[in-house]
Amino acid sequence: MTGTNQIYARQRHFGQPRYNSVVKADKADHTDPELGNRLEKVLSQKLNPRTKEFVSSLKDFYEQRGYLTVGQLTPFEKIESRFSPGEKAKLEAWEQEYRTQHLTTAKILAQYYWKTGYWTTVACRILEDPDYVPPAFKWNKMSTNKYAQQVLRNVNDEPKFLRGTMVQLRSNVGKSQGTHYLQELRNRLAFVIEYDDANVGSTKGGKGYKILPMGYSTPISVLERDLMKPNKRGVSAQ
């Protein structure tokens, strides 16, 4: 037998038993008689749809086979640990903090993310479900990055143009993606109606405004960088 054939023979001889032992270990000794009750207890908690579907599938498997595999038990125990007394206390504290300290900010950032296409799942739930509280780790990521911080600075900055004052749209508006509709309003005179926290950018000059251009019957949303003080090029209509 050649050297190569000897190696293959050893692999065949020793490989199969190791594989069988892994399969047996994966199935072995996960027949805890309380496991069914543990699965039921977790299912009685407030779970998101995907987690509930996963735990329900584990319960069906356990009822049919009488055990869970290692690959099933490990993620289940991670889910189960969220509902220990200590973890539940942490979750309740976070929910209270979010509702009292972060909810207004969350709605502003959710509007920004919804329009830009990032964090859209979380943003949608924040905007549409008043009972939703995002996980703390997700909230930290979506609220502390440089873009989110600039959005919040723009919201909190003192406005350059006060409500009721006349402004003029700049001659270069409408060049960025999603603002082409402003091209026909270049140099148009308008009045500031209000500040628009639902339409805030993540760059300097990104404070949101609602303005009423001359010749228009309904306000439109623009950013502060789109506006300037009126000059002799300002027009009331085109």
Structure confidence by residue, pLDDT tens digits, 36-93:
999 999 999 888 889 999 999 999 999 999 999 989 999 999 888 888 888 889 989 9
Q: How many separate domains does the chain show?
A: 3
Domain presence at residue 233: no
Evaluate whether 206 touches 197 at the Cβ level (below 8 Å): no
CA distances from 92 to 35, 42, 135, 137 (A): 26, 17, 11, 15
- Shortest CA distance to 200 belongs to which of 153, 165, 168? 153
Domain presence at residue 76: yes
What share of the chain in percent tops pLDDT 90?
71
Domain presence at residue 150: no
The amino acid sitting at 56 is S
40 and 78 part of one domain: yes
- Shortest CA distance to 176 belongs to which of 210, 206, 217? 206
Domain presence at residue 159: no
Q: Which domain does 133 fall in, by range?
A: 97-144
What is the separation, in whole angstroms, between the first and last Cα of the chain?
93
15 and 75 part of one domain: yes
The amino acid sitting at 102 is H
Residue pLDDT, tens place only, 136-183: 999 999 999 999 999 999 999 999 999 999 999 999 998 877 788 899
Instruction: Give the torsion sign (CA, 57, 58, 61, 63).
Output: negative
Domain presence at residue 236: no
170 and 209 part of one domain: yes
Evaluate whether 166 touches 190 at the Cβ level (below 8 Å): yes
Q: State yes or no: pLDDT of 119 exceeds 50.
A: yes
81 and 107 part of one domain: no
| DSSP assignment letter at 225 | G
Domain presence at residue 187: yes
62, 85, 108 — which closes off a domain?
Answer: 85
Domain presence at residue 160: no
Tokens of 225: 């960088």
Domain presence at residue 122: yes
185 and 211 part of one domain: yes
CA 9: distance to chain centroid? 53
63, 85, 107 — which closes off a domain?
Answer: 85
118 and 76 part of one domain: no
